[in-house]
Amino acid sequence: MRGVLFGSARGPVGRRRGGRRGAVAALAAGTLVLAAGCSPGNGVGGPAGGGGMPSASRPSPSASGASADPSPSADLPPAKGSVKVVSTLTEGLDSPWGLAELPGGDLLVSSRDKGTITRIDAKNGKKTLLGAVPGVSPGGEGGLLGIAVSPTYGSDHLVYAYFTTASDNRIARMQYDENGTTPGRLLGAPDTILRGIPKGSIHNGGRIAFGPDHMLYAGTGETGDRELAQDKKSLAGKILRMTPDGLPLHGNPEADSVVYSYGHRNVEGLAWDGHKQLWASEFGQDTWDELNRIVPGGNYGWPEVEGKAGKKGFIDPVAQWKPSEASPSGIAFAGGSIWMAALRGERLWRIPLSGKANGEPLAAPEAFLKGKYGRLRTVLAAGGDRLWLVTSNTDTRGTPKPGDDRILVLEVR
């Protein structure tokens, strides 16, 4: 595998300036391509939208969240998988985007266009509006996007959100008052931990998740300004890694920067396999959508390359798809496979991981639920062999049916 690590030049990316956190410098199947990747395992790391390890096993902040050279697992996923829709947990959601699990199993879901966060009872699907996030400015592909629950939620009750404002994209945290009695007013004032992520009418990225290292990761987009993806001083077209306070940390390619990898067009999916290896889904333009294995400092090529190019200095994707079959958003790891929700492709992709250190998948990707539920936005590991799957037909690009949008409960293997 080839990749380019950051040089020694320092820039102001993600640097915190004293007192209140100041402004940070502005910083898309069929065809499988095999490239550098990693292996599965039985344990689930931090699935897209939330997760993390128990505080008792919390590592030091220097952990990178990726295993360098995992050995093959004896318990591999089957070459052919299966998906069964067990139930519909809830219906009637408006432009749902982010999904996160609370301790105890209930879910939080964000509305991109309404800028609200709603709690979903995991047993009966009852919806409880927690409130709106102040400052959200919906438009195009922007609005209230990814959400994540603090890995130390039991003590701090913090909920994190990635959202678009009138001037930028930013990440903030809010305290959730579970004992509050006023409907729609259960979220505290947002505390912005990172601002200055460039915004656009398209390609705002937006997925956030806590990794197995208890650090916060975010996928951003290049806003349609292609050159920003290769600009290491910009937060656009990147995967970011930061402390829960929004600060850079040891183990990042640059000690004073939250940039973790670059050369991305639009990252909307983040997940870790059983070896704590980070994976990301990425929208291509006209040729290839991608599933990438992420390494610190890796250059994933956009806009110089799209899909597998075998070009020195860039990391090729592990798998790729025609945009008409994918346009991937959220991903999750379960049962030894990566599961990827497709918007334009209107299907759920399964990529079984082989456990080989060179990242070669066990078999070609498989598609499930093709066209059955329309556009699919977010998938989240629900423990064991189950997933939650969020549809996205009320996002102005879909064709809503009665009941849209919904959260489905899936049994997978």
pLDDT in tens, 37-58: 333 333 333 333 333 333 333 3
Q: Where do the structural domains in the chain lie, given as residue ranges?
A: 75-412
User: What CATH fold (topology level) applies to the domain 75-412?
Assistant: Neuraminidase (2.120.10)
Cα–Cα distance measured from residue 199 to residue 32, given in angstroms and rounded to the nearest whole number: 32
Identity of the residue numbered 142:
G
- pLDDT, tens only, 340-364: 999 999 999 999 998 776 668 899 9
- pLDDT, tens only, 358-373: 668 899 999 999 999 9
Convert 160-175 to b/e letters by CB count within 10 Å (16 or more is b): bbbbbbeebbbbbbbb
CA neighbor of 268 nearest in space, from 199, 323, 206: 206
- pLDDT, tens only, 268-289: 999 999 999 999 999 999 999 9
Quote the pLDDT of residue 164: 98
CA neighbor of 235 nearest in space, from 203, 202, 195: 195
| Contact of 133 with 174, CB cutoff 8 Å | yes
pTM higher than the cut 0.75: yes
359 vs 250, residue with greater confidence? 250
Q: Which of 50-59, 61-70, 239-248 has the highest mean pLDDT?
A: 239-248
Vertex 300 angle, CA 298 and 301, to 5°: 130
Tell me if the bond preceding 405 is cis, omega within 30° of 0.
yes
Contacts 24+ apart (CB under 8 A), 157-163: 158/244, 159/100, 159/108, 159/117, 159/187, 160/193, 160/208, 160/216, 161/98, 161/110, 161/117, 161/133, 161/190, 161/208, 162/98, 162/205, 162/206, 162/207, 162/208, 162/218, 163/115, 163/133, 163/135, 163/136
Q: Is the pLDDT of residue 389 over 50?
A: yes
Q: Exposed, middle or buried by CB within 10 Å (0-12, 13-18, 19+), for 399?
A: exposed
Round to the nearest angstrom and report the end-to-end CA distance of the chain.
Answer: 29
Residue 112's pLDDT band (cuts 50, 70, 90)? very high
Quote the pLDDT of residue 295: 95
Cα–Cα distance measured from residue 303 to residue 224, given in angstroms and rounded to the nearest whole number: 11
Quote the pLDDT of residue 49: 35
